[in-house]
A and B are shown apart, each in its own frame.
Chain A
Amino acid sequence: MQWPKIQWPGRKEDRELRQEIEHHLDSLTEAYRKQGHSEAEARRLARIDFGGAEHIREECQEIEWWHWPSQLLRDVAFGVRMLRKTPALTGAALLSLALGIGATTAILSIAEVVLLRPLAISSPDHFYELMWESKDRIDLYKSASGSNFQDGAMRVADFFSLSALDAMRNSLAGKAHVASHIGKQPASVSAQGAVVVAPVHAVGGNFFQAVGVQPERGRGFVDEDDAASATPVAVISYAFWKTNLGSSEDVLNTNLRINNVYYRVVGVLPQAFFGIAPDDDTEIYVPIRQSPLWLQERSFYRERGAEPKTWPTQIVVRRMPEISELALREQLQAAFASSWVSQPVSVEKTPYLRLNNAAQGLGSLRRQMGNPLLMLAGLVLLVLTIACVNIANLLLARSVSREKEFALRAVLGSGRGRLLRQLFTESLLLALLGGACSIPVAWSLMKLIVTFMPDGFARVAASGPDWRMLAATATITVVTAILFGLYPSWRGGRVNVAPALKEGAGSAGTHSRWTWAPAKALVLLQISLSVLLVSSAILFTGYLWDILHRDTGYAQGNLLFFDLRPGEAGHRNDRLRQFYLQLEARLATVPGVESVGLSQTRPMRGGGYWNTIKLPGQTAEGGISAGIHHATPNFLDALGVPLLAGRNFTQQELARDAKVVLISEKLSRELGLNNPIGERIVVDNIEQEIVGLTKDARYARMTDDPPVVYMPLALGKVDSATIALRTSMSPMALLPTVRAAIQELDRDLPLVDIYTMEQQISRTLQRERLFAWLCGSFGVLALVLCVVGLFGLFSYTTARRIPEIGIRMAVGASRANVVKQVFAEGLRLTVAGIIPGIPLAAYAGWIARSQQLLPEDASSYAYSSLAIALGILAASALLAVAMPAIRASRVDPISALRNG
């Protein structure tokens, strides 16, 4: 055995020991020669007397301090050489490890942020988000602002009246901080001359006490700041301070212009605090009564917020240690009940508080992404299992093929412990190398995944993979690698040295069936899990493909959107209207722009403004829910929605906010109008005349197709608008010219949310894309790993059965027979693996539907994708078996028998 040339510790000692042993052997040989033995015989006798020289050297070294590191280095160097000797196998194992560990780490890291990571606030466990739930719709409020959702049989909502807020604050004074906040929205912020659009969160005066975060510089808010008469102040995030104010030292004297109002910066939040939810990207906090939401024209909060039946605010609570969670809930509930305008008529119509612990942040993201992430985590753990199985299999295959080497080493005096250590080192080396390769995989996968997640999530990718997750995942694989790497030495006791050495290239030895039993079981497991993964891959990618190829009703290419917020920059009423009209006219002259239109709701943003449409005289029950889109006449041209009958509205109608509308075919059909032109409909209690009929178009999102009403956009009253450009060339290339044209009208107006239609569409399909991409890649991964596993298994088994095949062919088996036999075995194994996989896959499909990841009617989908998956798996399995089968059929009986 030749050791690699590395300067070991103890090298000199080793050389001396060799000399010593050499001297002893020479002297013994000399003595035997004098007794009349031949030179060769004398040498042989000397060696017998002396014993195993290698073994003795090892024993001498074991007592030295340098023994352990030196052995380790040798083992590692030897391990590296062994791994390099089988590059295909090592490559496959490393790939399995890197992808398995990397993917698992990425998903688990993101899941950790969404589900587990506590906010950077003091004692996060004492921080709560307040909600209420009721069985039936309650009639204690008439209008509200906030979110609600269905949780099983309960309706859950997060909005409260201002009187409820006051009652809770008074009742719990000194025991808990009860603070209000009313939502986050983008606003134009002018800082140091540059205008940016930043998320601004309107919060109550005691918000920061309730959250439990102390500004790093300056102060938080006090109740006096949250008053209509107060001087406007703002607290900014660390990121905003750094990016937009250049980490300026005198930040506390800086003024920010937010939507045309000047705010003095009074505090900068700590770097670690990024908001009150995992995806919270708030950059500026302002007091509610000084917030854009409050100051804007026709503000819901200012004008109607204090009405008893208006529930406009969200509430967060921090509990002091003195009061228990239970007592807190009881007191809050009592205060809540005392604020109601009337007593609920039944228990079902009574709202009960939910005190949701918000240590990990407010729950909307958890509700939206929590279960999907858990599902993905489950799937990725299956991928990891398959990867581990693959490594196990590859190491098993390798160990079986190395049986001869181990037998030889045992004969040369290597103890079982020594072999064990060598195998251990090799497995560990493989696992560590794989672990190292997995880190970049995890990084890039996380970057990819966050592009499919809500915007605030970009930060998650920046924080990189969670090291604990990486460690946990790596440990699983390392343990697998070591466990299966050591398998041959565990079998060591069973291997009889002499037959193992004799076996040579292979024989139909009695233990070979047993040898392959664990390998076959592992491949079976792999195939059944692959059925699940491959069918979900097809299911989700197929679903996304289907969505993306639905007819939108207009051409998706060459369409650019961006938002402008001139109202926030000081344009008002007629000036605002003039600005919009000039803008539309100016942009239409930009070369490459075919048409320009303005609208209030951006197409494919997912949301919109909805209302119930009635025919005059119809009751509300007969109404039809439709999307209402306020737009300029040119907007339909720019979007490319064809007019089927009647006419578009005119610029004059736009200028005087005429009561004219266009409706979509679907709405016309659902209202039962044969010839809608000239008919009237009622929108928000106002009668409107239908002047045109448009083709149906998907407006809010690709996944639904609601009836639509187009109405003239009241240009003088909207602070912001979406501009749609239909271009004759690549839209992004036009952007600089467009920007310059807008600057001619207003130097300081930033263009916000610039997206092409394709980008806009993909943003509404984040979850669908997340699942399609990840499940798709999991499926491909599973398939590849499965093929590698099967191929490995069959290459080794057939290689070792060559003598048997030789005999069969010698006694008359044809090549076709041999191929058939190997194929039959591969097919048997595949079918045996597929059968338990089918219910697994069906179950996964059911979960996906119950989690609304797929529409309810997707079950036919699920069956066809399962069928396709089975076909693909069977085909790949046969492909994996084909090469070993063909190789087996090429066996030359004569040489096979001779070598056996």
Chain B
Amino acid sequence: MKKTDLLQGTLDLLVLKVLQQGPQHGYGVAQKILLKSRSAIDVQQGSLYPALHRLQKKGLVSSEWKEAESGRMARVYALTQAGRQQLAFEEEQWTQYAAAMGLVLEGE
């Protein structure tokens, strides 16, 4: 199967979802997404960063520099209140959308 091209909105949703479980640096977010999707969704890991910066610009995510496990400084991203609301809203939308798609596809 050809590696899936992610819709931009989808990547944002994935990032928000991963951050729901707690603050994380970029590398961590990438690994979590790979792990959870069992590598089916293969993002170019670098492309997380434009997404993270975009979310931060929108105020859905905040960031600060912290010491990582390796002992080096890393930028850690966390969900903001607005981010949580946006996540809930987008999850809701996605579920409805997926359900609708499911209905149509099953009906065939």
Contacts and interface: CB of A to CB of B under 8 A. Distances in A.
A21 B44 CA distance: 13
B45 A51 contact: yes
Interface in A789-841: none
A734 interface: no
A60 B75 contact: no
B49 A20 contact: yes
Contacts of B57: 63-64
Contacts of B53: 60, 63
B50 interface: yes
Interface string A44-72: 00000111110110011011100000000
Contact of B45 (A19, A49, A62, A63): A49
A654 interface: no
Given A16-B75, A20-B74, A23-B68, A63 B46 contact: no
A402 interface: no
B74 A21 contact: no
Nearest to A56: B46
B95 interface: no
B73 interface: yes
A618 interface: no
Given A28-B45, A49-B45, A59 B27 contact: no
A30 B27 CA distance: 12
B72 A23 contact: yes
A502 interface: no
Given A23-B72, A27-B27, A63-B57, A17 B45 contact: no
Interface string A1-37: 0000000000000001101110110111010000000
Contacts of A26: 70, 72
Given A24-B30, A28-B27, A60 B50 contact: yes
Contacts of B70: 26-27, 30
A64 B26 CA distance: 19
Contacts of A56: 46-47, 49-50
B25 interface: yes
B50 A24 contact: no
Nearest to B44: A51
A50 B27 CA distance: 10
Contacts of B65: 16
A23 B25 contact: yes
B50 A63 contact: yes
Nearest to B70: A27
B27 A23 contact: yes
A52 B44 CA distance: 9
A34 to B, nearest CB: 13
B64 to A, nearest CB: 11
A24 B26 contact: yes
Interface in B72-102: 72-75
A62 B44 CA distance: 18
Contacts of A60: 49-50, 53
Contacts of A59: 47, 49-50
Interface of B is mostly: helix
A44 to B, nearest CB: 14
A16 B85 CA distance: 28
Between A16, A24, A30, A52, the greatest number of chain B beta carbons within 10 A of the residue's beta carbon is seen for A24
Contact of B46 (A16, A27, A53, A64): A53
A55 B46 CA distance: 9
B46 A51 contact: yes
A54 to B, nearest CB: 10
Contacts of B75: 16, 19-20, 23
A28 B57 CA distance: 26
A52 B73 CA distance: 23
Contacts of A63: 50, 53-54, 57
Contacts of B25: 20, 23
A26 B72 CA distance: 10
Interface centre among A16, A17, A21, A23 (most CB of B within 10 A): A23
Contacts of A16: 65, 75
B74 A23 contact: yes
A468 to B, nearest CB: 44
Nearest to B69: A27
Contacts of A27: 27, 70
B44 A50 contact: yes
Interface in A222-253: none
B23 to A, nearest CB: 15
Interface string B30-47: 100000000000001111
Contacts of A50: 44-46
Contact of B27 (A19, A24, A51): A24
Nearest to B73: A19
A27 B46 CA distance: 13
Given A16-B75, A50-B44, A21 B49 contact: yes
Given A27-B70, A63-B53, A63-B54, A51 B26 contact: no
Given A23-B68, A23-B72, A63-B54, A52 B27 contact: no
A21 B49 CA distance: 8
Contacts of A62: 50
Contacts of B47: 51, 56, 59
A20 B26 contact: yes
Contacts of B49: 17, 20-21, 56, 59-60
A16 B25 CA distance: 13
A53 B48 CA distance: 12
Contacts of B68: 23
A20 B30 CA distance: 13
A226 B72 CA distance: 100
A372 to B, nearest CB: 64
Contacts of B44: 49-51
A17 B57 CA distance: 14
Nearest to B26: A24
A23 B50 CA distance: 16
A16 B73 CA distance: 10
A715 B70 CA distance: 113
Interface centre among A19, A20, A28, A63 (most CB of B within 10 A): A20
Interface string A145-189: 000000000000000000000000000000000000000000000
Nearest to A31: B31
Closest 4 CB pairs of A and B: A51-B44, A51-B46, A56-B46, A59-B50
30 contacts: A16-B75, A19-B73, A20-B49, A21-B46, A21-B49, A23-B25, A23-B26, A23-B27, A23-B68, A23-B72, A24-B45, A24-B46, A27-B27, A49-B44, A50-B45, A50-B46, A51-B44, A51-B45, A51-B46, A53-B46, A56-B46, A56-B47, A56-B49, A56-B50, A59-B49, A59-B50, A62-B50, A63-B50, A63-B53, A64-B57
Given A20-B49, A20-B75, A56-B50, 6 more contacts: A20-B25, A23-B26, A23-B27, A27-B27, A51-B44, A63-B57
Interface of A: 16-17, 19-21, 23-24, 26-28, 30, 49-53, 55-56, 59-60, 62-64
